[in-house]
Amino acid sequence: MVLTDEQKKAIEKEYNEFVDIQYAGLDKAARQAAAMYYTPPELTIRMLEKFDDLNDSVIDCCAGSGNLLAAALIAGADPKQCFAIELDKKIYEEVLVPRLTKLGVPKENIRRGDALDPKAWDFNSDYKYFDPDEVKEKKGMLGFFGNVRTR
């Protein structure tokens, strides 16, 4: 498919509104460790032009700040047929969810999860991602209270 000049400008404009916060304040080292290199509009436009059309679902299983999905939405994808999975809590909460919901994507289509877990792909399921760091923190708290009780 070929995007119009208006669509390309709109994709760049929307991207520029998020460019400063797209990494949610994570520093370069954290970003490099997690391969967080987000796709600029020059590339999302070229990627979309490889699609035949946007009449089907669009899923980005490592959605990051949502650059590809945002561009697809602006190019005409149906928000109800757009789906995102992203592992990083900060990017997910601070950028991906507000950005895609603003473009009309239902919150239940934007999932914090591990794309390597097949259950994460089933958007009809009650998939819940358990962050190993958060689980560790909770266990630490239980240990602390446990010690108090035994004194």
If binding is defined by CB under 6 A, does position 37 make contact with ligand SAM?
yes
**From candidates 72, 77, 91, 110, binder to ligand SAM by CB under 6 A:** 91
The region of 5-13, 30-38, 72-80, 142-150 touching ligand SAM under the rule CB under 6 A is 30-38
**From candidates 9, 46, 116, 137, binder to ligand SAM by CB under 6 A:** 116
Tokens of 33: 């460790």
CB closer to ligand SAM, 63 vs 110: 63
If binding is defined by CB under 6 A, does position 14 make contact with ligand SAM?
no
Asked if 41 and 10 count as a contact pair (C-beta separation under 8 A), the reply is no
How far, in Å, CA of 34 to CA of 12, rounded? 25
Asked if 88 and 36 count as a contact pair (C-beta separation under 8 A), the reply is yes
If binding is defined by CB under 6 A, does position 87 make contact with ligand SAM?
yes
Q: Are strands 82-86 and 110-112 parallel, antiparallel or unpaired?
A: parallel
Written as one string, the DSSP assignment of 78-90 is -GGGEEEEE--HH
CB closer to ligand SAM, 73 vs 85: 85
Query: CA–CA distance from 31 to each of 27, 87, 91, 94 (Å)?
Result: 6, 13, 11, 15
Sheet of strand 58-60, all strands in order from the earlier edge strand to the far edge: 58-60, 82-86, 110-112
CB closer to ligand SAM, 85 vs 100: 85
If binding is defined by CB under 6 A, does position 109 make contact with ligand SAM?
no
User: Residues interacting with ligand SAM, by CB under 6 A?
Assistant: 34-39, 60, 62-64, 67-68, 85-88, 91, 114-116
